[in-house]
Structure 1
Amino acid sequence: MDWGRAKNVLILAFLLLNVVLGYQLWSNIREGLSTSAEADDLSPETLRIMEEKGIRLADNIYIPAETPELQDLTYRLKTKLGDNERHVLKQPVEGKIIFNEKQLIEGLGAVIPDIDQYVYDGTTSDDKKFVFYRMEQLRPMFDVKLELYYEDQKIIAYRQDVIELVPSDKAIENPVLSATIAMAPLIEKFLAPGAVIKEIKLGYHGQTFAKSDTQVSAPSWRVLLEDGNVYYIHAVSGEVVTEEELVS
C-alpha cells in the first residue's frame, strides 16, 4: 500500500469534512441571527400598492422576521398619570446616565419605582424627554411608559405609568402574524400616499378602559411613520388601529 498517498487522501477528506461542517455551522448561526426580512418579502400586490401610493420604508430600517408565540397580558394600573402630571426631582440628575443601565438604576432607582423594568426607546424620545417602555417577556408594553424630562443635559422630572401584572389562566399563546403579512392591510387601506415607515416593532398594546380594574394588552406590531403618526396591528387577528383610541 502507498501510505503516502493514503495519508494525503485522508488529509484531503478531513479538510473537505471540516469545510462542510464549517459551512453548516455558519448557516445555522446566520439563520439564528437573521431577524429581518427584506421589503421584497412583501407580497407582489402590497409592493404594487406601495409603488402606486408612493409609500416607502425609511433608510436603514428593517422589517422584523420574528413570529414567536405570545399571549395577552392582563395587568392592573397602580398609577396612571396624565400628560401634564410630572414628579419634579428634588435633585436633578445627569442625563447621560440613561445610556448606562447600572448608572440609571443607581441614580434614580430610589426615586422611580420598578425603573429596572423599563427600557429606553430612542425612536419615540425627543429633545425634551427620554421615553422608556415597561418590558414584559423581553418586549415593550407600548401603553406603559416612563418619561424622563430634561433641561441643560440634566433630568429634572419624570412621568410614569406603574402597573401590576395579573396572572391569567385563560391566556393562550398564539403564533403572531409575520410583519410582512400584518402590514399588507395597513398599507392598502390606512396609509396615506407618500407615507414613510420609520419603524416596525413587536410588543404589546391594548385599549385602556377607565372604569375597569384590569387592562388587557395584546401582542401587536407598532408602525411608526416619519410624520409622527402611529398605527398598531393586532399581531394575531391583523386588526389595524390608530393611536387615537378613545379611553372607554
Structure 2
Amino acid sequence: MDWRRAKSVLILAFLLLNVALGYQLWSSYGEGFSASADVNDLPPETLAVIQEKRISVQANIPAETPELRDLTYRAEAPLGSGERTMLETPVASKAVYNEKELRQALGGAIPDLAQYQFDQSVSRDGVDGVFVLYRMIDGRPMFDVKLELFYSNQRIVAYRQDRIELLPAEQSQKQEVLPATKAAASLIDRNYLPVGAVIKEIKLGYHHGQIFDSQTQVSAPSWRVLLEDGTAYYVYAISGEVVTGKEEGQ
C-alpha cells in the first residue's frame, strides 16, 4: 500500500469536510440572523411605551415580509358551528405531537387531516382539554379554520372540524406584507395591550375578512399577536388594521 498517497487522500478528505462544515455553520448563522428581528428594532416611541406599561416581548419577531394575496373560500358550514364527532376508537393524546403518528392513528377517521397542523400555543392542557389544529395554505395557518381534537384521560375521544373549499382568486393581487415589528408597534402604540402584557408569539397567517354570504368569505394575510394569557390580536398584514380576537383555545 502506498502510505504516502493514502495520507494525502485522508488530509484532503478532512480538509473538504472542514470546508463543508464551515459553510454549513455560516449558512445556519445567516439564516438564523435573517429569520427574526430584535425587540430593539421597534421604534423608540414604542420602546418607551413598553417600558412605561411594563410590556414584555418574549416572542421571536419574524423578519419575513413575503408577498401574499387574500384567500377566497367556501365553508361547508359556518365556521365553528359544527358538532363534536365521537371517535369509534379513541387514540393516545401524545399522537398529536408526532404528525406521522397522528395521521396513521386518525387519518382514516378525520377527513383531510393532512391539511391541518397542530398549534401547541393555543391548545389547552390538562386532564380534559382540546388540541387546536389549523387549516394550512402554503405552510401558513388559517386562524379561523380549525380542527379541534378533544381529549380526556390522555385519550383523544372526539373532534370538531371546519372544512372549506378554496375558490379561484384571480382578482386578488399579491402584495408585500407589513413587517412584524410594525404590527407589534401598532398594537403597543395604540394602547391595545394592557399593563404588564406578555407577548408570547407573533405568527403570520390568514384571518377572516370580507363575507360575501353565509358560507363564502375572504381570509386576508394577518399577523397574529398572542399574549401569554391566551388573548389574540390580529393585525391585517396589508392595511395594518387591528382586530381583537377572542381568547384562543376556548
Report what 1:102 is aligned to.
100
Q: 1:226/1:131 Cα in 2 relative to 1: closer, same or farther (>3 Å)?
A: same
Secondary structure in 2 matching 1:241: strand
Percent identity, please.
55
Secondary structure in 2 matching 1:172: coil
Q: Is the 8 A contact 1:150 1:157 kept in 2?
A: yes
Report what 1:9 is aligned to.
none
Output one character per residue of 1:15-38: Cα deviation in whole Å (capped at 9) or x when no partner. 9xx99x998875554333431111
Q: Larger C-alpha radius of gyration, 1 or 2?
A: 1
Residue correspondence of structure 1 range 154-169 to structure 2 within 5 A? 154-169=155-170
> Distance in 2 between the 1:137 and 1:117 partners?
10
**1:39 has 2:23 as partner:** no
**1:111 has 2:112 as partner:** no
Quote the offset at 1:207 in angstroms. Answer: 4.1
Quote the offset at 1:83 in angstroms. Answer: 6.0
Report what 1:180 is aligned to.
181
Output one character per residue of 1:54-102: Cα deviation in whole Å (capped at 9) or x when no partner. 11113xx311111111111111101446468211112111112112222
> Distance in 1 between the 2:156 and 2:21 partners?
50
> Distance in 2 between the 1:126 and 1:103 partners?
20
Q: 1:148/1:210 Cα in 2 relative to 1: closer, same or farther (>3 Å)?
A: farther
Report what 2:84 is aligned to.
86
> Distance in 2 between the 1:161 and 1:201 partners?
21
Q: Is the 8 A contact 2:82 2:161 kept in 1?
A: no
Secondary structure in 2 matching 1:106: helix
Q: 1:80/1:87 Cα in 2 relative to 1: closer, same or farther (>3 Å)?
A: farther
Quote the offset at 1:181 in angstroms. Answer: 1.4
> Distance in 2 between the 1:64 and 1:93 partners?
35
Q: 188, 200, 211: which is aligned to 1:198?
A: 200
Secondary structure in 1 matching 2:199: strand
Q: Which runs of 5+ in 1 are unaligned?
A: 1-14
Quote the offset at 1:212 in angstroms. Answer: 3.6
> Distance in 1 between the 2:173 and 2:54 partners?
39
Q: Is the 8 A contact 1:80 1:162 kept in 2?
A: no
Quote the offset at 1:109 in angstroms. Answer: 1.1
Report what 2:49 is aligned to.
49
> Distance in 1 between the 2:212 and 2:170 partners?
23
Report what 1:211 is aligned to.
213
Q: 60, 63, 68: which is aligned to 1:62?
A: 60
**TM-score computed with the length of structure 1 as normaliser:** 0.83
Q: Cα RMSD over matched residues?
A: 2.3
Return the letter of the residue paired with 1:89.
L
Q: Is the 8 A contact 2:140 2:206 kept in 1?
A: yes
Output one character per residue of 1:142-197: Cα deviation in whole Å (capped at 9) or x when no partner. 00000100011110000110011101111111111111112212101111221111
Secondary structure in 1 matching 2:202: strand
Report what 1:170 is aligned to.
171
Q: Which runs of 5+ in 2 are unaligned?
A: 1-14
